[in-house]
Amino acid sequence: MQILYNSTRGIRGLTASQAILKGLSEDGGLFVPETMPRLECSLRDLSAMPYQEVAYEVMKLFLTDFTEEELRGCIARAYDEKFDTPEIAPLHKTDDHTWFLELYHGATIAFKDMALSILPHLMTTAAAKNKLKEEIVILTATSGDTGKAALAGFADVPGTRIIVFYPKNGVSAIQERQMVTQKGKNTSVIGITGNFDDAQTGVKKMFNDREMEQKIREAGFCFSSANSINIGRLVPQIAYYVYAYTRLLADGTLKDGDKVNFVVPTGNFGNILAACYAKQIGVPVNRLICASNENKVLFDFFRSGTYDRKRPFILTSSPSMDILISSNLERLIYQICGQDPVKCTAFMEQLKGDGSYTITEGMKEGLSDFYGNFCSEEETQDTISRIWQESGYVIDTHTAVGAGVYKKYLEETNDTTPTVIASTASPFKFARTVAEAVLEEETDLSELSDLELTDLLSELTGLALPKAVEEIRTAPVLHDRVVDAEDMPDTVLDILGIN
Ligand SMILES: *Cc1c(COP(=O)(O)O)cnc(C)c1O
């Protein structure tokens, strides 16, 4: 069955490869599958397959204009020895009803690798399929994690270039080192004198600059985005929820038809939407537990039906979830308003204009699978300590928000359904907060650098340092360009050799 993609705001009938190339629809909407496919293999059969096979069985349902050979090729190039375990996404059990699904075994030790290691291959395959003549130039503004994962994914992928802008004084020392040591002839990393918003605004301006588009097209290039609203990032994420379920089936924890809960530390609502899609294609799911940090817009939305972004932006120890506009929620809104692009557009216009919208009582019923809650900074830190003390297992700050919310859920519901918590980053990536939480007594760590803290954490926990941390100690700095935000377009033209 051919699956076509419609925009949440009206445009209809694109193939999967066209939707991947476009990223965002021209009407401002996000692409969603017109009908939801169902798994063709039984979950029992999938339980005997390795990660790559499960990923193929899931992704082929959505990317129906890719041939078997193309899709298997993309999967083979993505989920290989860049991951430090052949399981790709292993499960770690901490008690009788709780498992952590470790999504951080890829090149940059955060869950963004799960999608960004395959997106470049999906994109270049899509480009060939649609006879795109230009070389794809990925432009990204980053506050840390996405930039490095995108760089690692696109490095040396033929037919692509990637240019990443980051705020020179606005990312952690480890994040900066990870980016400026990036190898690959087609990669460029530029610091800007400004904050993340300046970088983001600069990139958006270039995407909307028709004159610049014309100029680069004449030179044989076109811009594209590796942003999390791309359907090519969402689809690969569905695979690991199916994989997690089938591993619990394989080890006898679950019997056919038994349900699980998924807990997802959430920012842009992409990861949890993938869990929701996993349910719709046939995974037996009880509750989807949406965990927020102190930027708790989603918690308030699930409680009240009102999405309100008019509030202070709080900087937390889980920075990848510091988000007030969860872009991917638009896909859920579209679904629960009866796939009506007119209604969906109206809500999004209200969000843009007034800063808030309220869904109808009928739409609220469509949210019954979801449970939302949040963790304060203190609760996040306490959760890291508690899990370390109870189970000898170390989790990062984002995952801790998930685990802390799960505890609240258990206290409210006494629901002992087997539960899988998405573990979205390696604890080494956020070594300072994690080391503080793991150390029993108050210790002043302010004298130690972030890299020294990763050593300390390794000593405290007995966990080996991940390769990604090891590498950046000795890797030479390959990118040292810093420009003013207003010079971003000229810098891009210069990198592409256009004048
Ligand atoms: C991006 C990110 C998240 C949030 O995921 P969304 O798909 O944006 O909800 C959570 N944790 C980490 C470590 C991340 O990098």
pLDDT, one tens digit per residue, over 75-108 is 999 999 999 999 999 999 999 999 999 999 999 9
What is the whole-number distance in angstroms between the Cα of residue 59 and the centre of ligand 1?
A: 21
Q: Which of 230, 424, 426 to mutate to test the pocket of ligand 1 (most atoms within 8 A of CB)?
A: 424
Residue 436, CB-side half-sphere exposure with 13 Å CA sphere: 16
Cβ of 295 closer than 6 Å to ligand 1, yes or no, is: no
Query: What is the rounded average pLDDT for all residues in the chain?
Result: 95
pLDDT of residue 403: 98
Average pLDDT over residues 185-190: 97
pLDDT of residue 363: 97
> 135: which 2 tokens?
């070389």
Beta bridge partners of residue 98, listed in sequence order: 95, 419
User: How far apart are the C-alpha atoms of 236 and 117, rounded to whole Å?
Assistant: 10
Residue 248: is its pLDDT beyond 80? yes
User: How far apart are the C-alpha atoms of 131 and 159, rounded to whole Å?
Assistant: 12
Please enumerate in sequence order all residues whose Cβ is within 8 A of that of 139, keeping only pairs 6 or more positions apart, or say none.
163, 165, 203, 206, 207, 223, 224, 225, 492
Confidence of residue 368 (pLDDT cuts 50, 70, 90): very high
Average pLDDT over residues 120-137: 95
Instruction: For 205-214, write each residue's pLDDT tens digit.
Output: 898 898 999 9
What is the whole-number distance in angstroms between the Cα of residue 400 and the centre of ligand 1?
A: 13
pLDDT of residue 395: 98
Cβ of 425 closer than 6 Å to ligand 1, yes or no, is: yes
Cβ of 110 closer than 6 Å to ligand 1, yes or no, is: yes
Atom of ligand 1 nearest to the CA of 396: 13
User: How far apart are the C-alpha atoms of 395 and 300, rounded to whole Å?
Assistant: 26
Residue 441: is its pLDDT beyond 80? no
Confidence of residue 33 (pLDDT cuts 50, 70, 90): very high
Known catalytic residues are: 112
Confidence of residue 241 (pLDDT cuts 50, 70, 90): very high
Question: Quick check: 418 and 100 in contact, CB under 8 A?
Answer: no
What is the whole-number distance in angstroms between the Cα of residue 145 and the centre of ligand 1?
A: 9
pLDDT of residue 285: 98
User: How far apart are the C-alpha atoms of 327 and 228, rounded to whole Å?
Assistant: 8
Cβ of 398 closer than 6 Å to ligand 1, yes or no, is: yes
pLDDT of residue 172: 79
Average pLDDT over residues 449-474: 92
Residue 192: is its pLDDT beyond 90? yes
Confidence of residue 47 (pLDDT cuts 50, 70, 90): very high
Cβ of 347 closer than 6 Å to ligand 1, yes or no, is: no
Cβ of 321 closer than 6 Å to ligand 1, yes or no, is: yes
Cβ of 424 closer than 6 Å to ligand 1, yes or no, is: yes
Cβ of 270 closer than 6 Å to ligand 1, yes or no, is: yes
Instruction: For 315-362, write each residue's pLDDT tens digit.
Output: 899 988 988 889 999 999 999 999 999 999 999 999 999 999 999 999
> 431: which 2 tokens?
């070594």
Average pLDDT over residues 380-406: 97
Residue 298: is its pLDDT beyond 80? yes
Of 330, 320, 328, 325, the closest CA to residue 293 belongs to 320
Query: What percent of the chain has a predicted confidence (pLDDT) above 70?
Result: 100
Average pLDDT over residues 5-16: 97
pLDDT of residue 239: 98
pLDDT of residue 230: 92
Average pLDDT over residues 245-263: 98
Nearest CA to ligand 1 atom 1: 320
Average pLDDT over residues 51-71: 98
Radius of gyration of the chain (CA): 22
Of 54, 15, 16, 50, the closest CA to residue 282 belongs to 54
Nearest CA to ligand 1 atom 2: 320
Nearest CA to ligand 1 atom 8: 268
What is the whole-number distance in angstroms between the Cα of residue 323 and the centre of ligand 1?
A: 10
The CATH T-level fold of domain 91-110+232-466 is Rossmann fold (3.40.50)
pLDDT of residue 1: 83
Residue 88, sorted as left (phi over 0), alpha (psi -120 to 50) or beta, turns out to be left
What is the whole-number distance in angstroms between the Cα of residue 385 and the centre of ligand 1?
A: 22
Average pLDDT over residues 264-279: 97
pLDDT of residue 195: 84
Residue 72: is its pLDDT beyond 90? yes
Of 56, 80, 78, the closest CA to residue 69 belongs to 56
Residue 144: is its pLDDT beyond 80? no
Residue 317, CB-side half-sphere exposure with 13 Å CA sphere: 26
Confidence of residue 226 (pLDDT cuts 50, 70, 90): confident
Cβ of 113 closer than 6 Å to ligand 1, yes or no, is: no
What is the whole-number distance in angstroms between the Cα of residue 102 and the centre of ligand 1?
A: 13
User: How far apart are the C-alpha atoms of 116 and 94, rounded to whole Å?
Assistant: 28
Residue 231, CB-side half-sphere exposure with 13 Å CA sphere: 29
Residue 402: is its pLDDT beyond 90? yes
Q: Which of 146, 174, 229, 271 to mutate to test the pocket of ligand 1 (most atoms within 8 A of CB)?
A: 271
Lowest-pLDDT choice from 132-136, 165-169, 337-341, 440-444:
440-444
Nearest CA to ligand 1 atom 14: 320
pLDDT of residue 479: 96
Cβ of 237 closer than 6 Å to ligand 1, yes or no, is: no
Question: Rounded to 10 degrees, what is the CA torsion of 152, 156, 162, 168?
Answer: 50
Maximum distance among all alpha carbons in the chain?
Answer: 65
Question: Quick check: 265 and 318 in contact, CB under 8 A?
Answer: yes
Q: Which of 109, 171, 268 to mutate to test the pocket of ligand 1 (most atoms within 8 A of CB)?
A: 268
